[in-house]
Amino acid sequence: MSAAAPPAAITDPAAREKAVAEELFARFREGAAPFDTAILQPAETLIDLYGEDMRARAYVTRDPLRGELMLRPDFTVPLLEAHLAAGGGAGRYAYVGKVFRMQEAGSGRPSEYLQVGLEHLGGEDPLAEEIALFLEVHEALAGLPVRIETGDVGLLVAAVEALGTSRARKDALLRHLWRPGRFRELVERFGGRRAPHPAQAALLARLAQEGVEGVMAGIGELHGLRERDEIAERLRALLEEARTPPLPAARLDAVERLLALDCPLGEALPALEEIAAELPGMEEAVSRFAERVVALARAGIEPQEVRFAGSFGRTSLEYYDGFVFGFVARDRPDLPPLATGGRYDALAARLGGARLPAVGAVVRPGPVARLREGE
């Protein structure tokens, strides 16, 4: 009786993903402290930071003792919280583990996947730190057919701040910077290009005629969650908004040109300088952009081979506030980005600490493994 043939080798995508994750983690750990955190995270902080949009993509549950929890959607926030609790300052970290995000039906993308990341916190030279981190990711993906995309959320923030309008309008625009549809709706409304909803128009007419006190006097017993003082404050804000002059058309056009800008990184500066000429106050952000382009070129990154888009990063996590980048597979739109990252200096302050220079990135070992195998 002849011996049975050995079984065919099994190529397990999960095993390949894990092997690539371990390789990347070992690379990023050089000069960095390892970090780990629980899979179940308190939901309140994450939702406060990311907005209710995160709830729609997160797996949320409730514990009778710990309250609302979610499966870990990200490592950065718990890492920064731990860093601040330990005293803050400078630090470099690397991590590996699963994150969980709901995906749209039919997308084919996994809702549970490994993520390898690195974070540079509190360095004395922010530009040097972000270039160093970018190069670490670039070198980790060397040899793969990738396209590099970049943006700068700091330019968008500076453009909003330079609009020359009320603080309330600026805050509203900044709050919805990561929601392109809502942002455009606000821009059009603040510029007088979009009429208010009929119900809102009717309310504004009443406010103009009766004042806040008159409208409040006509409100009967309250059955909702808002108190009378809250409602009155909201009415005063609506009235103040209605009295604020429309945004100048030239400045709105400059913002729209910034969002529409899409070109090689090396060609973006002249266009940004033209936009800044119409939005006084953007000069510092444009200067930082120019310094970054020079620094990347000195590090061996050819600016003409990197893409810059004014709107890049607007659908990323909301804590980014500066340089943002992504590495995507060329000719493979079916794959998610291989790596993404950026600057998030303001996040520490939002978590209750002092503002802290911070830049981080994540690499997805699953798509990296597939590209390496030629799948």
4 in any annotated domain: no
Partnered with residue 340 across adjacent β-strands are 326, 362
Q: How many CB atoms lie within 10 A of CB 315?
A: 11
Same domain, 27 and 99: yes
The amino acid at residue 310 is: G
Residue 43 lies inside a defined structural domain of this protein: no
Instruction: Indicate whether 207 and 279 sit together in one domain.
Output: no
Q: What is the mean pLDDT of residues 222-226?
A: 56
Domain, as residue range, for 224:
193-245
State whether 263 and 298 are in the same domain: yes
- Contacts of residue 109, defined as CB under 8 A and 6 or more positions apart, other chains included, come to 103, 336
Residue 23 belongs to a domain: yes
pLDDT band (50, 70, 90) for residue 81: very high
**How much is the pLDDT for 177?**
86
Same domain, yes or no: 213 and 291: no
Q: Which residues pair with 360 in a beta bridge?
A: 119, 342
Q: In one letter, which amino acid is 245?
A: P
The answer to whether residues 324 and 208 belong to one domain is no
Q: Judge contact between 118 and 136, C-beta under 8 A.
A: yes
Strand partners of residue 325: 150, 341
Per DSSP (E only), the strands in the chain are: 33-35, 40-42, 60-63, 67-71, 91-100, 112-121, 146-152, 262-264, 306-309, 323-329, 339-343, 358-363
- What integer pLDDT is reported at residue 107 of this predicted model? 66
Query: Is the residue at 22 inside a domain?
Result: yes
Do 143 and 97 share a structural domain?
yes
> What is the three-state SS of 159-218?
HHHCCCCCHHHHHHHHHCCCCHHHHHHHHHHHCCCCCCCHHHHHHHHHHHHHHHHHHHHC
Do 256 and 232 share a structural domain?
no
Does some domain include residue 173? no
Q: What is the pLDDT of residue 9?
A: 43
What's the CATH code of the domain at 130?
3.30.930.10
For the chain, percent of residues with pLDDT exceeding 70: 82
CA gap 118, 102 in Å, rounded: 23
Residues 271 and 364 both lie in one domain: yes
Q: Mark residue 43 as left, alpha or beta (left: phi above 0; alpha: psi -120 to 50; beta: remaining).
A: alpha
Instruction: Classify the C-alpha dihedral 230-236-241-244 as positive or negative.
Output: negative
Domain finish residue from 245, 275, 308: 245
**Could you tell me if 217 and 289 lie in one domain?**
no
Considering the domain architecture, whether residues 218 and 280 belong to the same structural domain is answered as no
pLDDT at 225: 53
Count of structural domains, the chain? 2
Q: Kindly indicate the confidence band of residue 247, based on its pLDDT and cuts at 50, 70 and 90.
A: confident
156 pLDDT more than 90 = yes
Alpha-carbon distance of 292 to 294, in angstroms, equals 5
Q: Report the percentage of the chain scoring pLDDT > 90.
A: 54
Tell me what the pLDDT averaged over the chain comes to: 86
256-296 pLDDT, tens digit per residue, is: 999 999 999 999 999 999 999 999 999 999 999 999 999 99
214 part of a folded domain: yes
Given a cut of 90, is residue 324 above it in pLDDT? Answer: yes
One domain for residues 273 and 350: yes
**Looking at residue 301, what is its pLDDT?**
95
pLDDT of residue 308: 97
Q: What pLDDT does 110 receive? A: 80
Tell whether 151 and 259 lie within a shared domain: yes
Whether 276 is in a domain gets the answer yes
Q: Which of 227, 245, 263 is the last residue of a domain?
A: 245
- How are beta strands 323-329 and 358-363 bridged, if at all? unpaired
For residue 155, which of 290, 50, 263 has the smallest C-alpha distance?
290
- What pTM was computed for the model? 0.84
- Residue 10 is predicted with a pLDDT of 40
